[in-house]
Amino acid sequence: MQADLLLVAALLRRGRSLDHCSSALSLVAVLFGLFPWLGAPPSLPLALLCAALLSAGLVEKYWALRVALDAELFQRLAEAGDQLDSQTHALDQALQNLGLQNAQQAGRAWDLRCRGALSLLRKQALYLLLQIVIVTLGFFIVFA
Structural domain total, the chain: 1
pLDDT in tens, 28-73: 999 888 877 777 788 788 889 999 999 999 999 999 999 999 999 9
Predicted pLDDT of residue 100: 82
Q: What digits encode the pLDDT tens for the residues 97-131?
A: 988 888 888 888 899 999 999 999 999 999 999 99
User: At residue 80, does pLDDT exceed 90?
Assistant: no
User: Using CA atoms in the order 74, 25, 31, 142, what is the torsion angle rounded to 10 degrees?
Assistant: -160
Long-range CB contact pairs, 96-103, < 8 A, 24+:
none
What pLDDT does 141 receive?
76
Region 63-85 average pLDDT: 92
Given this model, what pLDDT does residue 38 score?
Answer: 77
Taking the CA atoms of 47, 52, 57 and 62 in sequence, report the sign of the dihedral they define: positive
User: What's the pLDDT tens digit per position in 16-32?
Assistant: 999 999 999 999 999 88
2 touches 78 (CB < 8 A): yes
pTM for the whole thing? 0.88
pLDDT tier, 135 (very low <50, low <70, confident <90, very high otherwise) = very high
pLDDT in the model for residue 60: 98
Q: Which domain holds residue 125?
A: 1-143
Q: pLDDT value at position 16?
A: 97
Predicted pLDDT of residue 139 = 80
Contact 67, 117 (CB under 8 A): yes
